[in-house]
Amino acid sequence: MGLIWALMPLQYSVSFILGGIFFAKPMRDKEYVTMMDPFQIKYGKVLSTALVLPALLVDVLWVSCTLLSLGATMTVILDLPYAYSVWISSSVAIIYTLLGGLYSVAYTDVIQLCLIFFGLWLCVPFLLLNPSSTNIAQTAFNHTLHEPWVGTLRQDQVWKWIDDFLMIVS
């Protein structure tokens, strides 16, 4: 689909903006602690538990994937066995979360975003000067190495994309 996939961050951004505009103030005024509190009040504990379980499962899987990827990165950088790297990265994440609470997690996320931003920009000159990299115009629009990555949105897919956009936004 090419660059059409780049719309995903836009969909999530619109979702956060709409959530902030319509839901943040009423939820703060009623002193809700979680997003499930309104559902629990209106529908009861059984339905709110059923709604929480998929989110909990996704969060558990997401955290495990993150810790495994951090362990794999430590294995490459420090040349430690994979199992030790996963245990060390998990221990460090648990300790700084327990000691610092959500503030330590938030500050760590900000530091990581800054490092990612500067690290990716640091890679650009090396990518441009590397003889293995191809001119982006060649790979974007013609069939030199693979299908062009710019892509087009076909008429029969417009409603699917609108549906996906609205699903992610809601």
Q: Is the pLDDT of residue 139 over 90?
A: no
Q: What is the mean pLDDT of the segment spanning 70-92?
A: 90
Among 166, 147, 152, smallest CA distance to 4 is for 152
**Lookup: tokens for 159:** 């409603």
Residue 160 has pLDDT above 90, yes or no: no
pLDDT exceeds cutoff 90 at 118: yes
Q: What is the dihedral of CA 59, 65, 68, 74, to 10 degrees?
A: -100
Rounded to an integer, what distance in angstroms lies between the CA atom of residue 8 and that of residue 13?
Answer: 9
Residue 128 confidence class, pLDDT cut points 50, 70, 90: confident
pTM equals 0.53
- Higher-confidence residue of 6 and 58: namely 58
Domain limits of the chain?
A: 139-170
Between helix 82-129 and helix 45-78 the angle, nearest 10°, is 70
Chain centroid to CA 18? 18
Q: Say whether pLDDT at 79 is over 60.
A: yes
